[in-house]
Structure 1
């Protein structure tokens, strides 16, 4: 993705935020993928609490509202500054993970206000296996920093 393309996509993201708030912004990011969910989770002690969940199907299930950090894929985002699995059921890194084969695809990036601190994660995920397009990653990295200006 060229710098000009990234700038255009950032402008679209900002416009989506201005029109639809956080829901509109996450909806824009979600529309660029095949993932069912796009979410922001906040680290709260040993829990990951959902701040906002965009569900492509509009159901917004409550069972995704909080997850113990040790059971989440977010733990790997925080440890490795990002995490991606296209098929958790076949991912050897997740051999004994609680959600292996349940949340089958995940892409997440850390959210932070300053280096060395973690607010939480920005992530796409789905129950179906799928990979994220490499072209999406620069946009997600850019909006991760911008999102922090709008979170508590």
Structure 2
């Protein structure tokens, strides 16, 4: 669990820089190209905010995707999903994007639960190449998820 000081600092970043600033902060400490918030919209996963460490425009294929083709579908409240290399992960044999140009190889995500208690979306680090994520970095992602969820779900932020 991240310290209260780290969580307070993260909350302040969200207040002053918005979700984009919060994702940029989280991405600074990981080797992944992307850090993002996605929300569940029926059978589609829609991007809410995405930070690209390379500073490039968001590729269209990351804007929205069918839920059944997303690694986020494996995430449930209290059940995160992590893989350093989806091409070698036996849990993902036969995944819909396996072998395509846009394969997400590294994916580390955790649930964003709305204040009402329903699964609203996911907070994740991911990359189009195999990239490991330390347990400490994933612990931080999980620790800030409730803060991100409250911020992202609240339309009056």
Question: Could you state the TM-score of these two structures normalised by the residue count of structure 1?
Answer: 0.89
Aligned runs of 1:20-31 on 2, under 5 Å? 20-31=17-28
Cα pair 2:38 2:123 within 8 Å, conserved: yes
CA distance in 2, matches of 1:13, 1:114: 19
Partner of 2:47: 50
Cα pair 1:23 1:52 within 8 Å, conserved: yes
Q: How many residues align?
A: 149
List runs of 5+ in structure 1 lacking aligned partners.
none
Partner of 2:141: 140
CA distance in 1, matches of 2:5, 2:29: 14
Query: Could you tell which deviates more after superposition, 64-73 or 112-121?
Result: 112-121
Whether 2:62 is the aligned partner of 1:61: answer no
Q: Report how far residue 78 of structure 1 moved.
A: 2.6
Q: Report how far residue 19 of structure 1 moved.
A: 3.0
- Secondary structure of the 1:78 match is coil
Q: Report how far residue 16 of structure 1 moved.
A: 2.3
CA distance in 2, matches of 1:145, 1:18: 15
CA distance in 2, matches of 1:135, 1:88: 21
Q: 2:6 aligns with which of 6, 9, 34?
A: 9
Cα pair 1:43 1:120 within 8 Å, conserved: yes
Query: Could you tell which deviates more after superposition, 60-69 or 79-88?
Result: 79-88
CA distance in 2, matches of 1:95, 1:115: 34
Cα pair 1:49 1:65 within 8 Å, conserved: yes
- Secondary structure of the 1:151 match is helix
Whether 2:94 is the aligned partner of 1:96: answer yes
Residue 74 to residue 80, structure 1, CA distance change in 2 (3 Å): farther
Cα pair 1:6 1:138 within 8 Å, conserved: no
CA distance in 1, matches of 2:118, 2:26: 24
Q: Report how far residue 128 of structure 1 moved.
A: 1.1
